[in-house]
Amino acid sequence: MTEDFGEFDIIRNFFTPDTRREDVDIGVGDDCAVLTAPAGKKIATTVDTLIAGVHFPFSTLPEDIAYKSIAVCVSDLAAMGATPAWLTLALSIPDADTQWLQSFSRSFSDTAKYFDMQLIGGDTTRGPLSITVQATGFVEPGHIMRRDSARPGDSIFVTGSLGDAALGLLLLNEQKIIDKPVFEYCLGRLNRPTPRVEFACAVAEYCACAIDISDGLVADLGHILEASQKFSQCGAEIIVDAVPVSSELRSYYDRVSNTSDNSPGAINWELVLCSGDDYELCLVVSEQQVSAVVSLADSMRLPLSRVGVINAGPGLQFVDASGESLTITKSGYDHF
Protein backbone atom coordinates (compact mmCIF):
# COMPACT_ATOMS: atom_id res chain seq x y z
CA MET A 1 0.00 0.00 0.00
CA THR A 2 1.45 3.33 -1.06
CA GLU A 3 0.00 6.41 0.60
CA ASP A 4 0.50 10.04 -0.15
CA PHE A 5 3.11 10.40 2.56
CA GLY A 6 5.68 13.15 2.47
CA GLU A 7 9.18 12.90 3.91
CA PHE A 8 8.15 14.53 7.19
CA ASP A 9 5.04 12.36 7.55
CA ILE A 10 7.27 9.34 7.22
CA ILE A 11 9.65 10.64 9.87
CA ARG A 12 6.83 11.61 12.23
CA ASN A 13 4.82 8.43 11.75
CA PHE A 14 7.55 5.86 11.67
CA PHE A 15 10.81 7.19 13.02
CA THR A 16 10.04 9.20 16.10
CA PRO A 17 11.02 6.80 18.85
CA ASP A 18 9.09 6.36 22.07
CA THR A 19 12.04 5.18 24.10
CA ARG A 20 14.09 7.79 25.78
CA ARG A 21 17.62 7.43 27.02
CA GLU A 22 18.62 9.97 29.61
CA ASP A 23 21.76 10.81 27.68
CA VAL A 24 19.73 12.08 24.69
CA ASP A 25 19.19 15.83 25.17
CA ILE A 26 17.70 16.35 21.71
CA GLY A 27 16.72 13.42 19.49
CA VAL A 28 14.80 13.14 16.21
CA GLY A 29 13.33 16.42 14.97
CA ASP A 30 16.00 19.10 15.17
CA ASP A 31 18.93 19.84 12.90
CA CYS A 32 21.23 17.70 15.00
CA ALA A 33 20.90 15.36 17.91
CA VAL A 34 22.50 16.63 21.10
CA LEU A 35 23.88 14.01 23.45
CA THR A 36 25.66 13.67 26.76
CA ALA A 37 28.53 11.22 26.85
CA PRO A 38 29.17 9.51 30.20
CA ALA A 39 32.10 10.94 32.12
CA GLY A 40 35.32 9.03 31.75
CA LYS A 41 34.20 6.92 28.77
CA LYS A 42 35.41 6.99 25.18
CA ILE A 43 32.94 7.21 22.30
CA ALA A 44 33.01 4.37 19.73
CA THR A 45 31.12 4.89 16.49
CA THR A 46 30.53 2.87 13.33
CA VAL A 47 28.40 2.97 10.19
CA ASP A 48 27.17 0.24 7.85
CA THR A 49 25.07 0.28 4.69
CA LEU A 50 22.80 -2.56 3.62
CA ILE A 51 21.74 -2.46 -0.04
CA ALA A 52 18.92 -4.58 -1.45
CA GLY A 53 20.29 -7.25 -3.76
CA VAL A 54 23.82 -6.78 -2.42
CA HIS A 55 23.65 -7.26 1.35
CA PHE A 56 20.31 -9.01 1.50
CA PRO A 57 18.16 -10.81 -1.08
CA PHE A 58 15.23 -8.77 -2.47
CA SER A 59 12.91 -11.29 -0.82
CA THR A 60 14.08 -10.36 2.71
CA LEU A 61 11.28 -9.22 5.01
CA PRO A 62 11.36 -5.57 6.17
CA GLU A 63 11.44 -6.70 9.82
CA ASP A 64 14.54 -8.80 9.16
CA ILE A 65 16.23 -5.96 7.25
CA ALA A 66 15.59 -3.61 10.17
CA TYR A 67 16.91 -6.09 12.72
CA LYS A 68 20.01 -6.83 10.69
CA SER A 69 20.79 -3.19 9.95
CA ILE A 70 21.15 -2.59 13.69
CA ALA A 71 22.71 -5.95 14.55
CA VAL A 72 25.63 -5.56 12.12
CA CYS A 73 26.53 -2.20 13.70
CA VAL A 74 26.12 -3.52 17.23
CA SER A 75 28.47 -6.32 16.22
CA ASP A 76 31.12 -3.70 15.33
CA LEU A 77 30.64 -1.97 18.67
CA ALA A 78 30.93 -5.34 20.43
CA ALA A 79 34.18 -6.05 18.62
CA MET A 80 35.68 -2.95 20.25
CA GLY A 81 34.21 -3.77 23.67
CA ALA A 82 31.76 -0.86 23.42
CA THR A 83 28.29 -0.71 24.98
CA PRO A 84 25.66 0.38 22.40
CA ALA A 85 23.77 3.65 22.96
CA TRP A 86 22.65 5.72 19.96
CA LEU A 87 21.51 5.09 16.39
CA THR A 88 21.04 7.20 13.30
CA LEU A 89 19.27 5.88 10.22
CA ALA A 90 19.69 7.05 6.64
CA LEU A 91 16.92 5.39 4.71
CA SER A 92 16.50 5.36 0.96
CA ILE A 93 13.22 3.82 -0.19
CA PRO A 94 11.73 3.51 -3.67
CA ASP A 95 8.27 4.65 -2.47
CA ALA A 96 6.26 5.36 0.68
CA ASP A 97 4.88 1.85 1.08
CA THR A 98 3.12 2.12 4.45
CA GLN A 99 2.98 -1.59 5.10
CA TRP A 100 6.69 -1.93 4.45
CA LEU A 101 7.45 1.15 6.55
CA GLN A 102 5.27 -0.11 9.40
CA SER A 103 6.98 -3.50 9.53
CA PHE A 104 10.42 -2.00 9.12
CA SER A 105 9.99 0.73 11.73
CA ARG A 106 8.36 -1.56 14.33
CA SER A 107 11.18 -4.02 14.07
CA PHE A 108 13.74 -1.20 14.08
CA SER A 109 12.22 0.17 17.27
CA ASP A 110 11.99 -3.27 18.94
CA THR A 111 15.58 -4.05 18.00
CA ALA A 112 16.82 -0.70 19.27
CA LYS A 113 15.06 -1.34 22.57
CA TYR A 114 16.47 -4.84 22.76
CA PHE A 115 20.01 -3.44 22.56
CA ASP A 116 19.08 -0.52 24.87
CA MET A 117 19.66 1.99 22.08
CA GLN A 118 17.77 5.05 20.90
CA LEU A 119 17.22 6.36 17.38
CA ILE A 120 18.37 9.98 17.52
CA GLY A 121 18.17 11.14 13.91
CA GLY A 122 18.60 10.26 10.29
CA ASP A 123 17.77 11.10 6.75
CA THR A 124 14.92 9.93 4.50
CA THR A 125 15.23 9.93 0.74
CA ARG A 126 13.66 8.32 -2.30
CA GLY A 127 15.85 5.91 -4.23
CA PRO A 128 16.78 2.24 -4.50
CA LEU A 129 16.26 0.44 -1.17
CA SER A 130 19.28 1.11 1.00
CA ILE A 131 19.64 1.32 4.76
CA THR A 132 22.54 3.04 6.45
CA VAL A 133 22.79 2.81 10.20
CA GLN A 134 25.30 4.55 12.38
CA ALA A 135 25.71 3.16 15.87
CA THR A 136 27.53 4.84 18.69
CA GLY A 137 28.49 3.46 22.06
CA PHE A 138 30.79 3.89 25.03
CA VAL A 139 33.94 2.07 25.96
CA GLU A 140 36.23 2.10 28.99
CA PRO A 141 39.47 3.81 27.92
CA GLY A 142 41.59 0.91 29.18
CA HIS A 143 39.40 -1.82 27.71
CA ILE A 144 39.34 -1.14 23.99
CA MET A 145 39.75 -4.26 21.86
CA ARG A 146 41.80 -3.35 18.82
CA ARG A 147 42.85 -5.16 15.67
CA ASP A 148 46.51 -4.38 16.09
CA SER A 149 47.23 -6.03 19.43
CA ALA A 150 47.81 -9.67 18.45
CA ARG A 151 51.20 -11.07 19.51
CA PRO A 152 52.92 -14.40 18.77
CA GLY A 153 51.91 -16.97 21.37
CA ASP A 154 48.37 -15.59 21.82
CA SER A 155 45.40 -17.93 21.45
CA ILE A 156 42.66 -17.38 18.88
CA PHE A 157 39.07 -17.91 19.99
CA VAL A 158 35.77 -17.80 18.11
CA THR A 159 32.28 -17.46 19.62
CA GLY A 160 29.23 -19.43 18.51
CA SER A 161 29.44 -21.26 15.20
CA LEU A 162 30.60 -20.24 11.73
CA GLY A 163 29.18 -20.84 8.27
CA ASP A 164 25.47 -21.03 9.13
CA ALA A 165 24.55 -17.75 7.44
CA ALA A 166 26.56 -18.64 4.33
CA LEU A 167 24.84 -22.00 4.12
CA GLY A 168 21.48 -20.25 4.58
CA LEU A 169 22.22 -17.95 1.65
CA LEU A 170 23.42 -20.85 -0.49
CA LEU A 171 20.28 -22.88 0.21
CA LEU A 172 18.08 -19.84 -0.42
CA ASN A 173 19.78 -19.07 -3.74
CA GLU A 174 19.74 -22.66 -4.92
CA GLN A 175 16.23 -23.32 -3.61
CA LYS A 176 17.72 -26.62 -2.47
CA ILE A 177 15.80 -27.29 0.70
CA ILE A 178 16.90 -30.74 1.77
CA ASP A 179 15.87 -30.40 5.39
CA LYS A 180 13.40 -27.73 6.47
CA PRO A 181 14.57 -27.26 10.10
CA VAL A 182 18.18 -26.94 8.91
CA PHE A 183 17.15 -24.44 6.23
CA GLU A 184 15.15 -22.38 8.70
CA TYR A 185 17.91 -22.39 11.27
CA CYS A 186 20.49 -21.24 8.70
CA LEU A 187 18.17 -18.61 7.25
CA GLY A 188 17.57 -17.36 10.80
CA ARG A 189 21.32 -17.03 11.27
CA LEU A 190 21.54 -15.07 7.99
CA ASN A 191 18.67 -12.70 8.77
CA ARG A 192 18.99 -12.45 12.54
CA PRO A 193 22.65 -12.56 13.53
CA THR A 194 23.31 -12.39 17.28
CA PRO A 195 26.08 -9.90 18.07
CA ARG A 196 27.83 -11.05 21.25
CA VAL A 197 27.61 -7.67 22.87
CA GLU A 198 27.22 -8.65 26.52
CA PHE A 199 30.13 -11.04 26.40
CA ALA A 200 32.22 -8.58 24.41
CA CYS A 201 31.79 -5.77 26.92
CA ALA A 202 32.76 -8.10 29.77
CA VAL A 203 35.65 -9.84 28.01
CA ALA A 204 37.24 -6.53 27.03
CA GLU A 205 38.69 -6.46 30.55
CA TYR A 206 40.83 -9.49 29.66
CA CYS A 207 41.20 -9.32 25.91
CA ALA A 208 43.08 -6.62 23.99
CA CYS A 209 42.42 -7.80 20.45
CA ALA A 210 39.17 -8.65 18.69
CA ILE A 211 37.29 -8.35 15.42
CA ASP A 212 33.77 -9.34 14.46
CA ILE A 213 33.53 -11.91 11.71
CA SER A 214 31.55 -10.24 8.96
CA ASP A 215 33.56 -11.28 5.88
CA GLY A 216 34.64 -14.76 7.02
CA LEU A 217 37.26 -15.83 9.57
CA VAL A 218 40.04 -15.95 6.97
CA ALA A 219 39.55 -12.34 5.88
CA ASP A 220 38.84 -10.95 9.32
CA LEU A 221 41.66 -12.74 11.12
CA GLY A 222 43.75 -11.55 8.17
CA HIS A 223 42.91 -7.97 9.17
CA ILE A 224 44.15 -8.66 12.70
CA LEU A 225 47.42 -10.10 11.38
CA GLU A 226 47.95 -7.22 9.01
CA ALA A 227 47.20 -4.57 11.64
CA SER A 228 49.42 -6.25 14.22
CA GLN A 229 52.43 -6.43 11.83
CA LYS A 230 53.44 -2.95 12.77
CA PHE A 231 54.49 -4.21 16.20
CA SER A 232 55.70 -7.72 15.48
CA GLN A 233 55.76 -10.25 12.67
CA CYS A 234 52.43 -12.08 13.01
CA GLY A 235 50.95 -15.17 11.40
CA ALA A 236 48.43 -17.70 12.60
CA GLU A 237 47.80 -21.42 12.60
CA ILE A 238 44.16 -22.49 12.55
CA ILE A 239 43.19 -26.03 13.51
CA VAL A 240 40.33 -26.51 11.09
CA ASP A 241 38.70 -29.32 13.08
CA ALA A 242 38.49 -26.96 16.07
CA VAL A 243 36.48 -24.36 14.15
CA PRO A 244 32.97 -24.47 15.65
CA VAL A 245 30.12 -25.46 13.35
CA SER A 246 26.50 -25.99 14.32
CA SER A 247 24.89 -29.42 14.48
CA GLU A 248 22.57 -28.16 11.70
CA LEU A 249 25.47 -27.39 9.35
CA ARG A 250 27.12 -30.69 10.19
CA SER A 251 23.91 -32.62 9.52
CA TYR A 252 23.51 -30.83 6.18
CA TYR A 253 26.95 -31.99 5.03
CA ASP A 254 26.31 -35.49 6.38
CA ARG A 255 23.22 -35.64 4.18
CA VAL A 256 24.65 -34.20 1.01
CA SER A 257 27.79 -36.34 1.24
CA ASN A 258 25.55 -39.38 1.31
CA THR A 259 28.31 -41.67 2.52
CA SER A 260 27.40 -45.35 2.36
CA ASP A 261 29.10 -46.27 5.65
CA ASN A 262 27.44 -43.57 7.79
CA SER A 263 30.78 -41.83 8.27
CA PRO A 264 30.54 -38.07 8.78
CA GLY A 265 30.15 -35.97 5.63
CA ALA A 266 32.88 -33.66 4.41
CA ILE A 267 32.23 -30.14 5.60
CA ASN A 268 32.85 -27.42 3.04
CA TRP A 269 35.54 -25.58 5.01
CA GLU A 270 35.86 -22.85 2.41
CA LEU A 271 32.22 -21.95 2.98
CA VAL A 272 32.68 -22.01 6.75
CA LEU A 273 35.92 -20.03 6.82
CA CYS A 274 35.62 -17.66 3.87
CA SER A 275 31.98 -16.53 3.70
CA GLY A 276 30.44 -13.53 5.34
CA ASP A 277 27.64 -12.70 7.73
CA ASP A 278 28.57 -14.75 10.79
CA TYR A 279 28.76 -11.76 13.15
CA GLU A 280 30.56 -13.88 15.71
CA LEU A 281 33.61 -12.57 17.53
CA CYS A 282 37.19 -13.57 16.88
CA LEU A 283 39.28 -12.88 20.00
CA VAL A 284 43.05 -12.99 20.34
CA VAL A 285 43.96 -13.65 23.95
CA SER A 286 47.31 -13.65 25.71
CA GLU A 287 48.33 -16.81 27.59
CA GLN A 288 47.87 -15.14 31.02
CA GLN A 289 44.24 -14.26 30.25
CA VAL A 290 43.06 -17.47 28.57
CA SER A 291 41.54 -18.98 31.71
CA ALA A 292 39.71 -15.75 32.65
CA VAL A 293 38.24 -15.53 29.14
CA VAL A 294 37.18 -19.18 29.10
CA SER A 295 35.57 -18.93 32.57
CA LEU A 296 33.72 -15.79 31.57
CA ALA A 297 32.26 -17.48 28.48
CA ASP A 298 31.30 -20.50 30.61
CA SER A 299 29.59 -18.30 33.18
CA MET A 300 27.59 -16.62 30.38
CA ARG A 301 26.91 -20.00 28.73
CA LEU A 302 28.36 -18.68 25.51
CA PRO A 303 30.02 -21.25 23.27
CA LEU A 304 33.66 -20.27 22.82
CA SER A 305 36.18 -22.33 20.87
CA ARG A 306 39.97 -22.09 20.77
CA VAL A 307 40.69 -22.44 17.06
CA GLY A 308 44.39 -21.71 16.84
CA VAL A 309 47.38 -19.67 17.80
CA ILE A 310 49.21 -16.55 16.68
CA ASN A 311 52.79 -17.30 15.61
CA ALA A 312 55.66 -15.35 14.12
CA GLY A 313 54.23 -15.87 10.64
CA PRO A 314 54.20 -15.52 7.80
CA GLY A 315 50.50 -15.60 6.94
CA LEU A 316 47.63 -17.84 7.83
CA GLN A 317 48.11 -21.62 7.87
CA PHE A 318 45.51 -24.34 8.28
CA VAL A 319 46.06 -27.76 9.78
CA ASP A 320 43.76 -30.65 10.62
CA ALA A 321 43.58 -32.32 14.04
CA SER A 322 46.60 -34.51 13.25
CA GLY A 323 48.71 -31.51 12.25
CA GLU A 324 48.55 -32.16 8.48
CA SER A 325 48.36 -28.90 6.57
CA LEU A 326 45.25 -28.03 4.52
CA THR A 327 44.93 -25.58 1.67
CA ILE A 328 42.23 -22.91 1.74
CA THR A 329 42.48 -20.91 -1.48
CA LYS A 330 39.59 -18.48 -1.14
CA SER A 331 39.86 -15.39 0.96
CA GLY A 332 36.77 -13.56 2.17
CA TYR A 333 33.94 -11.51 0.82
CA ASP A 334 35.08 -8.37 -1.00
CA HIS A 335 32.74 -5.96 -2.78
CA PHE A 336 35.21 -5.05 -5.55
Q: Is 11 in the site for ligand ADP (CB under 6 A)?
A: yes
- Tell me the Cα Rg of the chain: 21
CB of 240 to ligand ADP, least distance (A): 43
CB of 12 to ligand ADP, least distance (A): 9
What single letter denotes the amino acid at residue 174?
Answer: E
Cα dihedral: 92, 93, 94, 100 (round 10): 170
> CB of 148 within 8 A of CB of 55?
no
> CB of 140 within 8 A of CB of 83?
no
Q: Which is nearer to Mg ion, 123 or 287 (CB)?
A: 123
> CB of 144 within 8 A of CB of 42?
yes
Q: Is 214 in the site for ligand ADP (CB under 6 A)?
A: no
Q: Judge if the upstream peptide bond of residue 195 is cis by omega within 30 degrees of 0.
A: no
| Among the residue ranges 27-35, 39-47, 162-170, 209-217, the one whose residues contact ligand ADP (CB under 6 A) | 27-35
117: three-class secondary structure by DSSP: coil
CB of 271 to ligand ADP, least distance (A): 35
| Among the residue ranges 122-130, 160-168, 216-224, 255-263, the one whose residues contact Mg ion (CB under 5 A) | 122-130
The number of angstroms, rounded, from the C-alpha of 9 to the middle of its chain's C-alpha atoms is: 32
CB of 123 to Mg ion, least distance (A): 5
CB of 16 to ligand ADP, least distance (A): 7
Binding-residue total with Mg ion (CB under 5 A): 1
Give the one residue of 80, 82, 119, 302 binding ligand ADP; rule: CB under 6 A. 119
| Among the residue ranges 118-126, 189-197, 283-291, 309-317, the one whose residues contact ligand ADP (CB under 6 A) | 118-126
Give the one residue of 110, 123, 198, 320 binding Mg ion; rule: CB under 5 A. 123
| Among the residue ranges 24-32, 78-86, 170-178, 202-210, the one whose residues contact ligand ADP (CB under 6 A) | 24-32
How many CB atoms are located within 10 Å of the residue 64 CB?
Answer: 20
- Max Cα–Cα distance, the chain, nearest Å: 67
CB of 123 to ligand ADP, least distance (A): 5
H or E stretch covering 46 = strand 42-51
292 class by beta-carbon count within 10 Å (0-12 exposed, 13-18 middle, 19+ buried): middle
Phi-psi region of 150 (alpha: psi -120 to 50; beta: other; left: phi over 0): beta
| Among the residue ranges 117-125, 126-134, 166-174, 190-198, the one whose residues contact ligand ADP (CB under 6 A) | 117-125
Q: Is 287 in the site for Mg ion (CB under 5 A)?
A: no
Q: Which is nearer to ligand ADP, 18 or 31 (CB)?
A: 31
Mention every residue, 6+ apart, whose C-beta is less than 8 A from residue 305.
157, 158, 242, 243, 244
Give the one residue of 25, 30, 226, 298 binding ligand ADP; rule: CB under 6 A. 30
Q: Using CB under 6 A as the criterion, which residues of the chain lie in contact with ligand ADP when the complex forms?
A: 11, 15, 28-31, 89, 91, 119, 121-124
